[in-house]
A = this chain, B = another copy of it.
Amino acid sequence: MKTAICAMLGIDFPLIAFTHCADVVVAVTNAGGLGVLGASGRSPAQLDDDLAWIDARVAGRPYGVDIVCPASDTSTTDAADPARMADSVPDGHRHFVNQFLKQHDLPFRHEQKDMNNPMRVDHAMGQQLLDVAFRHPIALVANALGVPPRTMIDTAHSSGVLVAGLVGTARHAVEHVAAGVDFVVAQGTEAGGHTGEISTLVLVPEVIEALRHTRHVPVIAAGGIVTGRQMAAAMALGAEGVWTGSVWLTTAEAETPAATVSRMLEASSTDAVRSRSRTGKPCRQLRSTWTDAWDADASPPPLPMPFQSLLSEPVLRRVDQLAESDSNALACATYFVGQGVGLLRSRRHVRDVINEMLEDFVDAIDGLTATLTD
């Protein structure tokens, strides 16, 4: 199976896999697709180790890195000063969290000191991770948050690395192309993680149409895609390939906690809710007592990014540790996942997922062709 993006990236079929697990990157890349490692949450040293581990296993085959790197420095000031950030969290919000923990019989409280170690999502950290990534033979770099900064694009291009831009609206796609990205990932609302409101089925053709009047770049579809039939659907819309995420979370190679994998395999699409309860921005994740509490009419409005994380991360990291042995913690635990979770029913190896996707892709085309000849 070949499209323009295959030649650009040096892959056998246009399937890109976003994952936080180095094992999944290796398995997808070695199967002929493109694994993309989500670097956020790693320190520069950890990223360096993980990329070296990947390099040793893919024999020069292409893979990519996804880094959250805001274009501007505006978020840096506050993020660099945890004390000032913590001061911005209203007491009522912390009280709400502690009431929640009590009501759900969770055996800990949210303390003031928990707010001193925010996850750093800022330009400086993004730049450090980028510097590490460019020391490895990556084929692609993607920015998960807004238009990639100028330095990311320039450094990538001078190193022969392609840059992908993830967009949720046609307007954003035009901005990304103007900034110099090599291809656009049009990500529909059904995707896991930070996501817009436009569905993949509408967004992909709307982005393609909007880019008719710009420099030509391929458009890749993302959001909800976990099967080969959906891959065929996305490419029927004119996408040159697909960007996937959720489907890898339940594979044997993934590091997703076992209890979470079980919940995902039982989930329907309605269990993947778009909620501001974790990061402050709408972010699709597994529904849990935490997301329900913040969606309730009686809840305070979630704080804007990055302040909501000062409330959510200490709680959600702790419940992840407790979830294997505490059913209340398991019910509170959440995980970024898209609506496609409703189509995942068994734990499989990456290789088997890919083989099935490619078979289903061909079946879908055969079925369409048959409607014309019957």
Contacts and interface: CB of A to CB of B under 8 A. Distances in A.
**Oligomeric state, in copies:** 2
Contact of A365 (B229, B268, B362, B372): B372
Contacts of A143: none
Contact of A227 (B205, B364, B374): B205
- If over half of A's interface residues share one DSSP class (helix, strand or loop), that class is named, otherwise mixed; here it is helix
Interface stretch (A40-48, A150-158, A235-243, A326-334): A235-243
Q: How large is the interface on A (under 10, 10 to 19, 20 to 34, 35 or more residues)?
A: 35 or more
Contact of A169 (B229, B268, B365): B268
B223 A170 contact: no
Given A200-B199, A202-B190, A374-B2, A238 B232 contact: no
A105 interface: no
A1 B367 CA distance: 12
Nearest to A1: B371
Nearest to A191: B199
A253 to B, nearest CB: 24
Interface of A: 1-3, 14, 169-171, 188-190, 197-203, 205-206, 209, 223-225, 227, 229-230, 232-238, 268-270, 274, 297, 301, 338-340, 342-343, 362, 364-365, 367-369, 371-372, 374
11 contacts: A190-B201, A198-B339, A199-B199, A199-B223, A199-B339, A201-B225, A202-B339, A203-B269, A206-B343, A230-B237, A238-B367
